[in-house]
Amino acid sequence: MPIYEFICTDCNKKIDILLRSVDFKVPPACPHCSSRNVEKVLSSFAYHQSEQKRRDVSGAPQKNAASGINDPRDIGRWTEEKLSNMGIDIREGKHKDTFANVRNMIDKARDGDTSFLDKKEG
């Protein structure tokens, strides 16, 4: 049984309705205002990108990324790129232990967990 998306032309709400058939004779009623003035709309779909594809599409981090990052995963990219430009590899070699906490925060940000940003030291 397909789920269809409709828009109610009376209350302008988008609704999802499960219909038993593709050929419905009576339009479904809007659950918000009970109107039958609904129009079928093209459903959206989810598209999941790999991390590499997301990086390819978004390009290099902005030069002023520290002040305008919208995607938490880019915080780590920006940080790792800046440190790499200074000859510091935080994942391998002699700086690995020194930057363990930074790596942990970068990995959390890549997973969407930015709770460490809310913690204030004092």
Q: pLDDT higher for 33 or 94?
A: 33
Mean pLDDT value across residues 93-121: 75
Concatenated DSSP letters for 35-98?
---EEEEPPP---PPPHHHHHHHH-SPPTTHHHH--STHHHHHHHHHHHHHTT--SSSGGGTTT
Q: Tokens for 117?
A: 């940003």
* Residues 96, 103: Cα–Cα separation, whole Å: 9
**CATH 3.30.250 is held by the domain 3-41:** no
Which range (16-30, 32-46, 68-82) has the least confidence? Answer: 68-82
Task: Select, from the ranges 4-13, 43-52, 87-96, the one with the highest average predicted confidence (pLDDT).
Answer: 4-13
pTM for the whole structure: 0.35
**HEC string for 94-111:** HHCCCCHHHHHHHHHHHC
Mean pLDDT value across residues 2-20: 85
Q: What are the domain boundaries of the chain?
A: 3-41, 57-112
Which range (24-28, 52-56, 71-75, 86-90) has the least confidence? Answer: 71-75
